[in-house]
Structure 1
Amino acid sequence: MHRIVISEFMDEDAVALLRARFDVTYDPRLVDQPERLAAAIATVPALIVRNRTQVREALLDAAPRLRVIGRLGVGLDNIDITACAERGVRVIPATGANADAVAEYVIAAVLILLRGAYGATARIAAGEWPRTALTGREAQARLLGLVGFGDIARRIVPRAKALGMRIAACDPLVNDHEIRRNGAEPMPLDRLVAEADAVSLHVPLTDTTRKLIDAQRIAAMRRDAVLINTARGGIVDEDALVAALKGGRLGGAALDVFESEPPEEPRRFADVPNLLLTPHIAGVTQESNRRVSLMIAERVATELDRLE
């Protein structure tokens, strides 16, 4: 019977599906205990992770029998793909399984930030009545700029259009015809950043996208524009973003991902106006967790069957 180690949380039904056929070690604490994790995978052919488990050369060296890694999500920056390929380890992401959850998160963040009316509970409970201060903006007719035009960005398009928004997109890997065919206007990055009322990021973290939204590009944005990052931490210059929000040079921002997770200096985000922070959960809902988990359980099982 093949053995599988699961180092981060997974839907219980998916874990049960695997346990019916394999010897499964399911311990979400392993992600914070690298020595225990290395020992646990020393003789196993399969490992299932989310985004926090760092699958680098040292961990791979500790698991010479490893043949498949299931990723409960789509980003692969926590996995050394080259090192896996050199060792004959197949990496399987849950492509598409959480895309709808992220798309809904982006739309919600755009609406919350544009309207600016949903943080007044404490003030009203304290006896204030700040109607004038909470006069926000509508999404209708606003320009939403999508940086990166993969599966998630394309799912955002119909949702945003249902609100009457206009959509622009840029992606060096997608031609203009394809962007138009999927309902968006092709637009160069710097023009998109300068003209959009809301900018949402959907690119992987690479050498070319690190600090893609830096101080210069943030300064080029409209003063009332909003920025949403559900892609990867490091694409936005966090210090520059905080400075712009504190200085009133940007309308708002939502960050679901950070340069380090959890952030190494979380206090720098305290008391920053019009900033929404969430702990890398844009793609995590009850429904998406089940879809992601079952997809990876089935694909890892299929891969293990091939080893027999």
Structure 2
Amino acid sequence: MPRVLISDALSPAAVQIFKDRGIDADFQPDLGKDRDRLAAVIGDYDGLAIRSATKVTAKILEGAVRLKVIGRAGIGVDNVDVPAATGRGVIVMNTPFGNSITTAEHAIAMMFALARQIPQADASTQAGRWEKNRFMGVEITAKTLGVIGCGNIGAIVADRAVGLRMRVVAYDPYLTPERALTLGVEKVELDELLRRADIITLHVPMTDRTRNILSAEAIARTKRGVRIVNCARGGLVDEAALRAALDSGHVAGAAFDVFAMEPATENPLFGHPNVVCTPHLGASTSEAQENVALQVADQMSDYLLQGAIQNAVNFPSISAEEAPRLKPFVALAEKLGSFLGQLTEAPIKGIRIEYEGAVAGMNTRALTAAAVTGALRPFLQDVNMVSAPVVARDRGIVVEEVKRENAARDYESFIRIVIDAEDMPRHAGGTVFQDGKPRVTEIRDIAVDAEFAPHMIYVRNADQPGFIGRFGMLLGEAGVNVATFALGRDRPGGDAICFVAVDEAVSPELLARIEEIPQVKRARAVRF
């Protein structure tokens, strides 16, 4: 039974989902605040469900020997060391849709509060002062709203703003013209947005490229009297520069739900009369809290029980429906890659994975990750399906996919892997038969039919009489039992291969004796 630790406050309904799915859920909502205790116990769990309080650092991950998945109930995963998790093969999931509407509505609410000075007017009125003439607001209608980031939340904000009869301009490098047309927004570059917007709202993640996207220089390029709303991530705006712009009157007001340092007990924006602040309430509605909790529980359960991957930030998604069908092809891709990797001694320059037939229409990103994992593991023991694509990229290894949906062979699906090493290319191919077991059916363009086994011997030899007898005799003398014996050749008397499954690992001494057989060109022990 998989075990999941819930180290932050999560809905009881989410805890029940884990239990109903047959997962042992350990609910300790205050544990995430104690890093030392979390580090001490994390090694006992297969999954970790968190919100924002738990900080999953590289040090904590060092002891997470069983951990397979981290589920973040919410959008941001800045409290998780994603590269460290990736390096350890841990899937990191979030719930990008569960609180999108709630966060978007909060941004709209903050915009209204800012435009009409509602918090300040409320405080003044409840203090007994009737200052009707002091709180002169501005209308939203016909104003230009600049949306920085038009993803899930930004698109909802834009849609609501269009409904409020605002003109909406959006800056997002990934926003297509077709999508902009559908949303009813005008796609512009950042400088134009800064120049035209009466109100700016931010909806981008925190990355090196977006940090201080509203810097002092960017704020100086905005229209005088602009209002700025940030319900996305702290650090997107230079808060000190914004305070100076507020003091000078260049910026008319700001509404912030997020801050560079949280919990924010002190901040340059605090105390300014034209600033509205809330304590990171963007996702704080009962509906959103329930939605993200239920969603993360379902996603983690699907992965731990079925291998389905949804909303992972460090691995391609695999639906619950396609996971069973993909599983044997994942095994095939990894074993083919491993076989070729074990034969390769020179540095690898590239890996090409060719998909033919029905498999070409599957989720090949997961299969490619498996193939790269197998190919690299003989050199890098700690590599895994999650980290392999990143490791390959960092080492300059070019990974290429080729898809041919029309099967060119006698199999419904066929995978061929080519490893381009500095000395020579190597390739092998295989398929999955009706029994669900992966088989290698081609090595060096020579047809063969062999199941993979934990211990195997690969021999390349000349197709001449006497080899099989001598080879078998050597195995018998060494006490090595043969499980299966597969042969193939390109033509009579030409090049041949032998792929043999044995019951135990073969010694270097036995391999050396096999290579002394006159017909043998190369012999290698391989393990799967």
1:201-242 per-residue CA deviation (whole Å, 9 max, x = no partner) reads 111111111111111112222332211112211111111112
Return closer, same or farther for 1:122/1:76 CA change in 2, 3 Å cut-off: closer
Aligned positions of 1:30-109 closer than 5 A: 30-109=31-110
Question: Take 2:135 and 2:176, find their aligned partners in 1: how far apart are those partners?
Answer: 41
1:101-152 per-residue CA deviation (whole Å, 9 max, x = no partner) reads 0110111111111122442234334443322221211110011111011011
Q: CA deviation at 1:267?
A: 5.3
Q: Is 2:244 the partner of 1:243?
A: yes
Question: Take 2:13 and 2:306, find their aligned partners in 1: how far apart are those partners?
Answer: 23
Aligned residue for 1:65, secondary structure, equals coil
Q: Is 2:279 the partner of 1:282?
A: no
Equivalent residues of 2:226, 2:250 under 8 A apart: no
Aligned residue for 1:84, secondary structure, equals helix
Shifted more, 298-307 versus 160-169: the winner is 298-307
Amino acid at match of 2:231: T
Q: Which residue of 1 aligns with 2:186?
A: 185
Aligned residue for 2:210, secondary structure, equals coil
Return closer, same or farther for 1:216/1:45 CA change in 2, 3 Å cut-off: same
Q: Which residue of 1 aligns with 2:226?
A: 225
* Superposition misfits of 4+ residues, deviation over 6 angstroms: none
Equivalent residues of 1:115, 1:135 under 8 A apart: yes
What TM-score results when the alignment is normalised by the length of structure 1? 0.93
Return closer, same or farther for 1:31/1:248 CA change in 2, 3 Å cut-off: farther
Aligned residue for 2:37, secondary structure, equals helix
Question: Take 2:129 and 2:281, find their aligned partners in 1: how far apart are those partners?
Answer: 33
Aligned residue for 2:251, secondary structure, equals coil
Amino acid at match of 1:19: K
Question: Take 1:136 and 1:56, find their aligned partners in 2: how far apart are those partners?
Answer: 45
Identity %: 38
Question: Take 1:158 and 1:178, find their aligned partners in 2: how far apart are those partners?
Answer: 12
Question: Take 1:252 and 1:82, find their aligned partners in 2: how far apart are those partners?
Answer: 37
Aligned residue for 1:41, secondary structure, equals helix
Question: Take 2:132 and 2:158, find their aligned partners in 1: how far apart are those partners?
Answer: 32
Amino acid at match of 1:192: L
Return closer, same or farther for 1:117/1:231 CA change in 2, 3 Å cut-off: closer
Shifted more, 135-144 versus 50-59: the winner is 50-59
Question: Take 1:151 and 1:121, find their aligned partners in 2: how far apart are those partners?
Answer: 32
Greater RCO between the two (CA within 8 Å, min separation 6)? 1
Amino acid at match of 1:77: D
| Runs of 5+ unmatched residues, structure 1 | none
Aligned residue for 1:42, secondary structure, equals helix
Larger proportion of strand: 2
Shifted more, 188-197 versus 269-278: the winner is 269-278
Return closer, same or farther for 1:215/1:67 CA change in 2, 3 Å cut-off: same
Return closer, same or farther for 1:5/1:241 CA change in 2, 3 Å cut-off: same
Aligned residue for 2:49, secondary structure, equals strand
Aligned residue for 1:226, secondary structure, equals strand
Q: Which residue of 2 aligns with 1:4?
A: 4
Q: Which residue of 1 aligns with 2:216?
A: 215
Q: Which residue of 1 aligns with 2:298?
A: 298
Amino acid at match of 1:33: D
Equivalent residues of 1:71, 1:296 under 8 A apart: yes
Return closer, same or farther for 1:196/1:67 CA change in 2, 3 Å cut-off: same
| Runs of 5+ unmatched residues, structure 2 | 308-528
Q: Is 2:34 the partner of 1:24?
A: no
Question: Take 2:211 and 2:115, find their aligned partners in 1: how far apart are those partners?
Answer: 27
Report the structure number with the largest CA radius of gyration.
Answer: 2
Question: Take 2:88 and 2:123, find their aligned partners in 1: how far apart are those partners?
Answer: 55
What TM-score results when the alignment is normalised by the length of structure 2? 0.56
Amino acid at match of 1:271: G
Aligned residue for 2:134, secondary structure, equals helix
